[in-house]
Structure 1
Amino acid sequence: MSGHRLRVAVLGTLRAWLDDREVALGPARQRAVFAALAIRATAARPATRGELIEAVWGQAAPASADGSIHTYISGLRRTLEPGRTRWSTGGLLMSDAAGYRLRLDGDALDARLFGCLHEKARSRWLAGDAGGTIEILERALALWSGEALTGVPGPHAEALRTSLTRQRVLAQELRAEALLAHGGHEDLVPELTVLVREHPLREPLWRLLMTALHRGGRTTEALDTFRTAREVLRRELGTVPGPELIEAHRRILTGDPAATPPAEAGPRHRARPGGVAHVSVRHGDDAPDFRGRRPEIARLRQFADDVVAGRGRTVWVEGEPGIGKSELLAAALGDVAGRGCHLAWAAASELGPPVPLQVFTEGLGLASAAGAEQALAHVERLCASAPLVLVVDDLQWADEASVLLWNRLSAVTHRLPLLLVAASRPSGRREDLARVRRAAELRGLEVLTLEPLAPADAEALTEDLVGGRPGPRLRSLTGRAAGHPLYLREVTTALVQAGAIELENGVAELRDDTALTVPGSLLGAVDRTLAQLDEVTREAARRAAVLGTEFGLVPVAASMGLQPSALLGAFGALMELGVVVDAGTRLAFRHPLLRWAVYHEIPTAERAAWHRRAAEVLADTGAGIEPVARQLTAVPAEVDDWVTGWLAEHHAALAVHAPSVAATLLRRVLDESPPAGPHREQLLAANVRVPSGPAREPHDPAHDLERAAQPHPTAPGRTPRRADPTRAAARPGCDDAPGTPSSWSPRRPSPSLGRGVPGRAARRTHRATPIGHAGEPPWLVKPAEGGHGAARGHGKHAHPPVEERPEQAGNPRVPPGGRPATAT
């Protein structure tokens, strides 16, 4: 008998057939067991005996329930397979240690066939084929013969009955939309009149009935229908009509013959129960690709499937500003109203004083004076009519009363068909928000943390935005966004709008003359992040941005006239917000674009003074010559005695390993210092000796983008360390270790070592030799002149100074043992 094909119908009275012969399924509770097994036939695992007990009795199972399940299974086996032996494990109703499974083909259950046809009809509707939509839906609705699972007892059957009825109404609504598009409004009025009486809380049915009446010339009845719908919603739910119903009413009042025309293929779908904020989602070819977010979208849609089936859940989506939280939720959940759910979308605001419960009263369409108990009761009523998806965006801005109400709603998701979703930035210093999250975690909170996009996804997104495969220069530049979708989009958009990208043979590349500016939206996102902080912390971030992408705590504190310990709390807050990360003995902005945007928060008129202050601080903390010089050339400041004196002391060493910076600084100081200045003659002579060639452009933070081959390694794909920022005090913002003698700072290998200096280069080296001898030992200078033998002769004189300063033996400039590297 096991070779026979089983078919099952649940869209009406529960029935089953073996081939063409209907079989009797036995008493009511045995039928409930059969219904549970039929619905789970394609599940990943068998139904356990405990799950079958839950399906039949719920929480009120008697002590004899276990034995009763065994009896019902035996009765079903006798009905389905009368020739089955006692110890058989195969056949139509299989069992093993894991539980029970009914062997049922995918198309042999009418509910599953109905669902497939409904999905096909929706696809035809989105493609603009109203006629095809009608034909498919009429086949689907013909599968119904009455109320689903008529007469079958138990909580599982009741929940399934509710879910299937909801799906049937959705199909009827879509068929009515398609018939209206086909001009079938007259035939729809009787059918819709019955449906609104059976389902009075379904706003789409009221809208469709109003439209059909109006198109048939029965405008007065259409307006009366709106008044009836408004009264029903007020009385039953305490809400007002939603925007689609109001728009239909407006069109009728203005005499628009279209009166809410059917949506076009690929519409922006607005979904809301009465008074609930809507969200717009794009479908079809116009939809964003959401590169790198497909796993998160899939998880959220699975949660939506669960709530449609009656299982509530709490979800927390976390990520920094601009990472794509709102867009992700809109893409994953924006169409749940089309699946029979209420969709409530609330958003907290950082603007203005917080009003208690404002998030929920506005989001749920309640009166502003409504309290927490009224909001809870309203959610209960919504869940009684259909599953509810309730999204609270930007929860970090919500008032304390709203946060507490969110916690209470989280506690009831286990017993209500409620999908409660919070979107939040890292909670930072909001202890109430942190406590609520911890409480939700104890109840099984699902957490989705949005990280920056992986490099491959970021490159693919760039290709989508510019219409071609990124070339090396464009890829290097957009890589500075470190996978941040907002930053990447805004930087790319700014380049496109400026005409800075050229397309050739499918490759998008930057023009050679491209000058990049900070996009306004990037500045806005950074400003919103820093707005959460006190002024001292904001200034600390800006002072750090002056120093560079990586920086030390000591020079930041010194530039503000504070002790490093005074800024531990400030940088702790910046680390919590993801602005700054731990980079070992130093701190760093999470990626260069973030530092760039923070830098541009400094008023232009103040930048020169800030760089001048940073230069002096770096010099006082032993940061080395190059970092000081770059601060002095970043934004030209007034040349004062300190700048002149510092350059007079360090010009020789600076000219050796940063000649272009030295040339720029020398020329500016000579141009702006008085003719009778104390160091003028010395600097004039130094200017003559500096190697010729174009001077480097004045420093700007944007140059870091062009120089850096990769964003900071703590950006995508790596969790930043959250160590105490005191570690950064161990090393100032420089390359030289503290205490390095000034005579050692310039003794770094020249870039020209080992390359030879033939021809014109040799003459330049000869001119520069006095500078080298002024600050360099012969064993380092001679190879630049081609005198390798002489260099070896002088090499032995380098050893005694090392032996005399054992504390410098570990300096990375000199290998262990005090022996310098031999020049080749």
Structure 2
Amino acid sequence: MTSADLSLEVVLLGEPAAWHDGRPVPLGGGLRRAVFAALAMRANHSMSRAELIDAVWGPEAPASASGGLYTYISGLRRALGPAGAPKATALTTSYAGYQLALRPDALDVQRLDRLREQARVLNEAGDTAHELVALDEALALWNGEALSGVPGPFAEANRLRLKEVRLSVLERRAELLVATGRHDEVIDELVDLVRANPAREGLHGLLMTSMFRAGRQTDALEAYRRARDVLVDRFGTEPGHALRALHQRILAGDTTVGQPSEFTGSRQALRIAARTRASKPFVGRADLVARLRSSVADVLAGRGGCVWVEGAPGSGKSALLAEALAGTTAASCTVSWTGADEFTQDIPFYTVERCLSDIGAALPHVPSAHVSLGPDTPVSSVLDHVRQVVGSHVTQPLVMVLDDLQWADLESLSVWHYLRGLSQHRPLLMVSACRPLPGRRDLDLMRELTGEFRSTTVLLPPLTDPEARDLLERVQPLAHTSVRTIVALAGGNPAYLLAMAAAVEHHGQVRKWKAVPHSVAAVVLDHFGHLSVEAREVLRAMALLGDSCSVDEIMATTGARASDLVDVLAEALEVGALQESDDEVRFAHPLLRRVLYESVPVSLRLAVHQQRGC
């Protein structure tokens, strides 16, 4: 990266702004700013022309969008360039599309992600004071609503996501203040948060807890009454089990309410339980849990090995691992759990550095676990560090989990494969969890090479209907009609079940939804956002035909030839968007079909239905 690139700073947690060599960059307004925001959110990754048009204009993009995009890109190049330079080196064009090159931490959203990760590590290390500092630094990055004033569906989706991120940081900060006896400092803030987010039961619970710990039992009980009233009146649902139980404890004057142990607990238990929130109960899949616990039992007996867990997005890979490792056998192991990050795939050794940091948090006596790796670190030095860390861990078996392996940088994947080789000679269990991604030959190869070691492969099936109903019953009470509709739409995907159940609080019974709520649609579209543009367009066309259709019907609707559809349908089948059924293909999740159907302009829907004589 050139010196010009290194001097570019970008903020998106507020009104978007950029500085080049200390001077403000005129980003322009409206759609040009939306183009810049999309490129910045995907910094150091290429976005194709089609992806940018979809991000800025959405599915109803006008015919002039392509020419407009060219104009906006040209204007941004001139604006981003150093004074007197003909164009910026930060914004480049290639066969793959457009890319905005930023150094690490030049974007406030990336700094936010790093601070959240730092807080997570400190939490698992039991360092409450420094975790609180990291959370305060993360909150200080905000200067208003994220992507304020930026139009387009991409900006709107990320605005909502970042709003949720900020709320989760505020909620965790409040937990820490209550746990450390600083109840009075957080009460007023929680009152405002509850008023702005009345459906968030965790905030109601924290407000009740902080009031009770401050000696205001009557106020805490009144806070519960207000919470129940708003949940029933506005959302048609009773408070969940956790909030009701907290109310009973406060009513009984239970002095253990809000004790630090409720927020910190056993570090080893947290290292496992933190991967899936307690609000997301685990159901079914007992046979898979048993297989994974058998692998843990093997490592306890001194036999290392490898586990490969694969499933569609939202299928519950992390929940399955958390359930298996939370068993009694895992208590005798040191567990290191790292999740790869989609937005750091181009940072060499980023994921393996997080792995070593996680081991360091679990094993502070291992100095070699605390290392700083960079793009220029020789591979031999990295492998030396790895050997030292694993070699120095001799007191008890070690379980290393790499979640979302598909997002790991290539250098870290090489080191991970090396570690799997070490597992054959040590009490080391290597657990890889990933989703299928089309065209990723490196992942296919890793899966195949896993078979060379003592290995267990787990492929997650969808939940059965009874398991899906059980999950919903454990989350919150719902009307029978809503349960039946949610189960039918989700197609056994736990993430979709939970997203729709949560949406009921805000949007009422499912059968009354005029359209899929944005919070639910965002989960679905995020899961399949990495499909090729061609695959997404074919799926959108299929959505107009029904839950299932034949290849002939797809050809008639899209005008594509059979040979053109081979790779596209194979891609959709591989990621779990579609399933084969006799001589037809059908949506694996009817919810996906409904979301895609609603993304098609009404005029186009009518035209297709008229063409088919519907």
TM-score, with length taken from structure 2? 0.51
Counterparts of 1:129 and 1:4 in 2: how far apart (Å)?
33
Cα distance change, pair 445–331 in 1 and its aligned pair in 2 (3 A): farther
Counterparts of 1:203 and 1:126 in 2: how far apart (Å)?
24
Q: How far 1:167 moved relative to its partner?
A: 0.7
Q: How far 1:202 moved relative to its partner?
A: 1.5
Question: 1:155 corresponds to which residue?
Answer: 153
Structure 2 residue 10 is matched with structure 1 residue 8: yes
Question: 2:77 corresponds to which residue?
Answer: 77
Q: How far 1:419 moved relative to its partner?
A: 9.6
Counterparts of 1:333 and 1:102 in 2: how far apart (Å)?
42
Q: How far 1:416 moved relative to its partner?
A: 4.8
Counterparts of 1:148 and 1:138 in 2: how far apart (Å)?
17
Structure 2 residue 277 is matched with structure 1 residue 271: yes
Q: CA RMSD in A?
A: 4.7
Question: 1:296 corresponds to which residue?
Answer: 309
Counterparts of 2:524 and 2:475 in 1: how far apart (Å)?
14
Contact 1:346–1:363 (8 Å) recurs in 2: no
Contact 1:94–1:102 (8 Å) recurs in 2: yes
Structure 2 residue 224 is matched with structure 1 residue 223: no
Question: CA offsets, 1:599-638, max 9 Å, x none?
Answer: xxxxxxxxxxxxxxxxxxxxxxxxxxxxxxxxxxxxxxxx
Question: 1:142 corresponds to which residue?
Answer: 140
Cα distance change, pair 278–214 in 1 and its aligned pair in 2 (3 A): farther
Question: 1:109 corresponds to which residue?
Answer: 107
Counterparts of 1:12 and 1:48 in 2: how far apart (Å)?
26
Q: How far 1:111 moved relative to its partner?
A: 0.7
Counterparts of 1:240 and 1:346 in 2: how far apart (Å)?
26
Q: How far 1:199 moved relative to its partner?
A: 1.5
Cα distance change, pair 165–2 in 1 and its aligned pair in 2 (3 A): same
Cα distance change, pair 135–360 in 1 and its aligned pair in 2 (3 A): closer
- Give the partner amino acid of 2:476: G
DSSP-derived class of the 1:153 partner: coil
Contact 1:271–1:278 (8 Å) recurs in 2: no
Q: How far 1:230 moved relative to its partner?
A: 2.4
Q: How far 1:248 moved relative to its partner?
A: 1.8
- Give the partner amino acid of 2:162: L
Counterparts of 2:209 and 2:489 in 1: how far apart (Å)?
29
DSSP-derived class of the 2:4 partner: coil
Contact 1:361–1:370 (8 Å) recurs in 2: no
Question: 1:722 corresponds to which residue?
Answer: none
Counterparts of 1:347 and 1:377 in 2: how far apart (Å)?
11
- Give the partner amino acid of 2:213: R
Counterparts of 2:522 and 2:15 in 1: how far apart (Å)?
27
Question: 2:182 corresponds to which residue?
Answer: 184
Counterparts of 2:120 and 2:82 in 1: how far apart (Å)?
43
DSSP-derived class of the 1:255 partner: coil
Counterparts of 2:465 and 2:226 in 1: how far apart (Å)?
33
Contact 1:53–1:66 (8 Å) recurs in 2: yes
Counterparts of 2:20 and 2:58 in 1: how far apart (Å)?
30
Counterparts of 2:60 and 2:11 in 1: how far apart (Å)?
28
Cα distance change, pair 316–242 in 1 and its aligned pair in 2 (3 A): closer
Cα distance change, pair 316–138 in 1 and its aligned pair in 2 (3 A): closer
Question: CA offsets, 1:428-450, max 9 Å, x none?
Answer: xxxxxxxx9999999646469xx
Question: 2:68 corresponds to which residue?
Answer: 68
Residues 618-697 of structure 1: matches in 2 within 5 Å? none
Q: How far 1:249 moved relative to its partner?
A: 1.5
DSSP-derived class of the 1:157 partner: helix
2:30 is aligned, of 14, 28, 31, to 28
Question: 2:89 corresponds to which residue?
Answer: 91
Cα distance change, pair 80–124 in 1 and its aligned pair in 2 (3 A): same
Counterparts of 1:199 and 1:360 in 2: how far apart (Å)?
25
Q: How far 1:198 moved relative to its partner?
A: 1.5
Counterparts of 1:129 and 1:198 in 2: how far apart (Å)?
30
Question: 2:402 corresponds to which residue?
Answer: none
Counterparts of 1:72 and 1:369 in 2: how far apart (Å)?
51
Contact 2:205–2:243 (8 Å) recurs in 1: yes
Contact 2:465–2:487 (8 Å) recurs in 1: no
Question: 1:126 corresponds to which residue?
Answer: 124
Counterparts of 1:391 and 1:248 in 2: how far apart (Å)?
24
Question: 1:39 corresponds to which residue?
Answer: 41
State the structure with bigger RCO (CA 8 A, min sep 6), 1 or 2.
2
Kindly name which structure, 1 or 2, has the bigger radius of gyration based on alpha carbons.
Answer: 1
Residues 533-548 of structure 1: matches in 2 within 5 Å? none
Question: 1:212 corresponds to which residue?
Answer: 210
Question: CA offsets, 1:120-179, max 9 Å, x none?
Answer: 112212222211111111111111111001111110001111111111111111111111
Contact 2:472–2:483 (8 Å) recurs in 1: no
Question: CA offsets, 1:329-354, max 9 Å, x none?
Answer: 74699999xx9xxxxx987669xxxx
Cα distance change, pair 57–288 in 1 and its aligned pair in 2 (3 A): farther
Residues 288-367 of structure 1: matches in 2 within 5 Å? 294-296=307-309, 303=313, 315=315, 327-328=320-321, 330=323, 358-359=469-470, 362-363=473-474, 365-367=476-478
Cα distance change, pair 416–134 in 1 and its aligned pair in 2 (3 A): closer
Counterparts of 1:391 and 1:199 in 2: how far apart (Å)?
17
Q: How far 1:228 moved relative to its partner?
A: 2.1
Contact 2:472–2:498 (8 Å) recurs in 1: no
Question: 1:701 corresponds to which residue?
Answer: none
Q: Percent identity?
A: 37
Counterparts of 2:37 and 2:71 in 1: how far apart (Å)?
16
Q: Kindly tell me the number of residue pairs found equivalent between the two proteins.
A: 369
- Give the partner amino acid of 1:26: G
Question: CA offsets, 1:461-489, max 9 Å, x none?
Answer: xxxxxxxxxxxxxxxxxxxxxxxxxxxxx
Counterparts of 1:232 and 1:125 in 2: how far apart (Å)?
33
Cα distance change, pair 188–378 in 1 and its aligned pair in 2 (3 A): farther
Q: How far 1:244 moved relative to its partner?
A: 2.6
Question: 1:57 corresponds to which residue?
Answer: 57
Structure 2 residue 245 is matched with structure 1 residue 244: no
Counterparts of 1:117 and 1:250 in 2: how far apart (Å)?
36
Q: How far 1:79 moved relative to its partner?
A: 0.6
Q: How far 1:23 moved relative to its partner?
A: 1.4
Counterparts of 1:3 and 1:166 in 2: how far apart (Å)?
31
Contact 2:20–2:82 (8 Å) recurs in 1: no
Q: How far 1:263 moved relative to its partner?
A: 3.2
Structure 2 residue 556 is matched with structure 1 residue 417: no
Cα distance change, pair 194–415 in 1 and its aligned pair in 2 (3 A): closer
TM-score, with length taken from structure 1? 0.39
Q: Which segment is superposed worse, 57-66 or 126-135?
A: 126-135
